[in-house]
Structure formats: C-alpha cells, structure tokens
Structure 1
Amino acid sequence: MVGSGIPALGLFLLMQSSAEANGIQGFFYPWSCEGDVWDRENCGGQAAIENPNLCLRLRCCYRDGVCYHQRPDENMRRKHMWALGWTCGGLLFLICAICVIWWAKRRNLLHLPKFLQGRYDISKTVSLLSKDRVSSDKKMSESPTDAEGEGTEGADEGDDD
C-alpha cells in the first residue's frame, strides 16, 4: 500500500510542476512571471529584448518588449504545500484506517452489517484436497445426533413404566 503511494506522490509532484521548471524543485520553489512591474530585473541584455526567443531560452519572461527574470511565486508555493499536506494526510489516514480495521477484525471486534459481509465465509469453505475430512466430519456429525435421539427416546419410554 505504502509502496504504491510513494510513486503516486512522486508522479503528482511532477505533474504539478511545469514543463520548463526543474522537476521536484519546481514544485517546492515555483517561479513565475507575475509580480510588480517596477521590481523587474532585466535579463539577457539588449539581445534578449530584440529577440523574444532568446529571452525565453534563457528561462526569462518576455512581456511588452521587456525581458526580465522570473521571481519566486509564494502564492503557488502555498498552494503546492497545501496540496502536499492534504495528500500526505490522506494517505496517512487511509493507512491508519486499514491497520485499525485489520486489527479489529483479527481480535473479532468488528461486527459488520449483513450487506457489508461477504457472501462466503472463509472458515466454511473447503478445498478440493480435503474431501476425506469432509466425509468423516459428516459421519461424525450424524452419529452423535442419532445416539442422542435414541437415548432420549429410551429415556422417555423408561419414564412411562
């Protein structure tokens, strides 16, 4: 269970980061072109301003004829941490719930309603290899009931005399 959760979490982290970001680090420290217009730092010099493709290859932002550096995006970072926290919390809750249910079932503390119980009880199923045991169990179960029935009939007849 936990073994499948870790790769799923890794895949989730990779999907959340953008294609141009640098993997997991892009998830924990996302960069953005958003921000205050006045705080922009030039990127790539005059060549990048004249050539928007060069600006984008340098992983800078290009808007309104200006090439500028990306900035850390705190809003996106908070959203990513929130998603990571809820994902880890959900996995932890699921693992704990499974462990508690398994423990309660082993201690015979779990009494499920009829519609949640399985159709077949494992303790009543018989494998194909134990045919002899089944037939001997049937013979044993038949003989004590016959003996009890005869004994009670004899006791009833003896009381009448």
Structure 2
Amino acid sequence: ATVEEAPVEEPSEVAADEAVTDEAATVEDLNKSLNSIFFGFDKFSIDQAQKTNLDAAIKVLQGNSELYISLSGHTDERGNKIYNMGLSAYRAEAVKEYLVANGIDSSRIICFAYGEDFPLKKEHNKSAWYFNRRVDIMVWNNLPVKEQGIKSE
C-alpha cells in the first residue's frame, strides 16, 4: 500500500498573538512573532519594558515546548571586539536566566555570542546602536549551530 500525503491548507496571515496558539504555526511564523530584546549601552541587565517582551516570548516558548531555542547576543560597534564579544555573551545568558526562572527548560536553550559582527542596522548613530544592542530569540526543530543564530532585518 502506498501512503499519500493529505493536502495542507495554507495558513492565512494571523496576528502575532494568534500565532502563539495556532498548532499549525511554522517555526518561521513563530520566529516572526518573537521580538528581539534590547539593552542599554554597556549593559546586560533587562529593563522592565524588555521583560514585557520576554513575558510574551515565554508564552510562545511554553506553547511550543518541543522546539529548541537560540539566544543570539549582539552589541553595537562601540568598544573593542574582545569586550563586545563578552558583553554579547552576558546578554544572551541574562535572557536565558530570565527564561529559565520563568519555567523554560534550560536543556532547550543554546546561547550564541556575536559581538558587533552582525548589526541589525548598518548606520553609525544612536538609533542604529540601540537596535544593535540586542538578543535575538529564535526557535528550531533541531538544535541549531552558531551560523543559524543570525537574524536579519
């Protein structure tokens, strides 16, 4: 006997909060719904506004507990490369600690540090620097490798 694939209905555009509960949501859809977490200059502490973003991410992550999570830390271009690499690692670890403290299994999480090497915004000004000081949260069906943790605009 041969097995035939059932036709798949294409999902329509859904709001980010609807995608959280949609069982048919793809990894790509989920990643679009996960906001980056932004940091102050030379900081790795998470401020209250960013905790709100993280709390929304936790709902998505709890609803998709079979998926792996990558946390990709970044810095702006200011500071030397070695310092920025360490700071980006601290940022990813700070987000991991928050997720774990709020019920996400640490065995699902992998942290990557990229320093200043992959800016989200290429300009050299305060606005661009703000967007480059971040941790990107993404989900994966399989444990990701470092090259996969880079999110583009």
Band the TM-score falls in, shorter-chain normalisation: under 0.3
Instruction: State the structure with more CA Rg.
Output: 1
Relative to its length, the structure with more strand (as a share) is 2
Relative to its length, the structure with more helix (as a share) is 1
Name the TM-score, length of structure 2 as normaliser: 0.19
Name the TM-score, length of structure 1 as normaliser: 0.18
